[in-house]
Amino acid sequence: MNNSLNNNNSKVKLNNSKGNKNIIIITIILLLSLTFLILFIVFTNNNQENNNNNNNNKEENNKPLTELEKKLIELENINEKLDFFKEEYIDRYIEYKNNNPNLDLEKVIIYVNIGLDQEFYSKNYPSPNQNTNKVLTNKFYSLSKDYVPNNLETIDSNFSSGNKQMVKEAKEAFEQMAKDAKTEGYNIRAVSTYRSYQYQENLYSNYVKADGTEKADTYSARAGSSEHQTGLAVDVDNITLSYTSFGKTKEYEWMQQNAYKYGFILRYTKEAEFITGYKEEPWHYRYVGIEIATYIQNNPMTYEEYFVRFLDK
């Protein structure tokens, strides 16, 4: 009797075990089927999306380029690299590039922004950043007849030839520079600083009478276009020689190495004559502040180039 019951129980357990295994197998099959179904749906959607993207790309590629896009391609899309690229100048950029095929594209943009694709004095814009040490005054940007810089002060007579004035910040920087130079055995003296519009007008007029307009323009600024009117420019000598001989002095060498530490840059160099429009002037220094002067010292360039890169926004 007991043996019979045990056998029956064993059969029930065996049947239950088989049933459980069948359920597990069925469950696994269902899960696998569901997984494959999900994967199939995802794969199908991805293919459809890729096909749509490809079709869109084909349509985009087949879409004709605009005139602006063509011009930007001609300029190698340099607008994406330079934040001082001006879209309104794009035709000028292309023309200047074509006229100067060996010129680096970045230089093309800089030179056109300066205005070098046009004749000097052909445009006359108001000088930007007036009454700051960042003011730009040249053959494209000028000051008005009645412009007088704020805070003009007289330079210490120990470091100037007579009653010479500069804007307070520039005057103090110049005096400190001259004092430090003196300590090291060098004489730096201011011989020409602030000039009024009227003074420059008379000066330029006399040069034109003597040499003609074309020649005078190479060494003298027209009224309103002179940096001296900003109160930030200074012509220097070493007391013993004329300022026109300053480039031959030991003081000039000292200035080359130290002027930037006080915020001054040599404004008109031989290498930059085509940019500034003036012959080399080893005696003419311009106060721009220590930060800008240091940058230009470490990355030689004209103030025009610095201006279009960082200030003309």
Domain coordinates in residue numbering, the chain: 1-63, 68-118, 124-311
Place of tokens 């009653």: 163
Q: What are phi and psi of 145, to 5 degrees?
A: -60, -35
Catalytic residue among 281, 291, 304, 305: 281
**What's residue 14's pLDDT?**
44
How many other CB atoms sit within 10 Å of the CB of residue 111?
20
Q: What is the mean pLDDT of the segment spanning 159-181? A: 98
Say if residue 171 is exposed, middle or buried (CB neighbours under 10 Å; 0-12, 13-18, 19+).
buried
Structure tokens at 90: 């794009």
Mean pLDDT for all residues in the chain: 91
281 is catalytic: yes
**What's residue 143's pLDDT?**
98
Separation between Cα atoms, residue 135 and residue 303, nearest integer Å: 10
Q: What is the mean pLDDT of the segment spanning 202-223? A: 98
Q: 152: pLDDT confidence band, cut at 50, 70 and 90?
A: very high
Residue at 120: amino acid letter: F
Helical packing angle, 250-258 and 168-183, nearest 10° = 120
What letters, b where the CB count within 10 A reaches 16 and e where it falls short, cover 122-135? eeeeebeebeebbb
**What's residue 147's pLDDT?**
98
Q: What is the mean pLDDT of the segment spanning 225-240? A: 98
pTM score, whole prediction = 0.81
pLDDT tens, 270-289? 999 999 999 999 999 999 99
Q: Which fold has domain 124-311?
A: Muramoyl-pentapeptide Carboxypeptidase; domain 2 (3.30.1380)
Q: 54: pLDDT confidence band, cut at 50, 70 and 90?
A: low
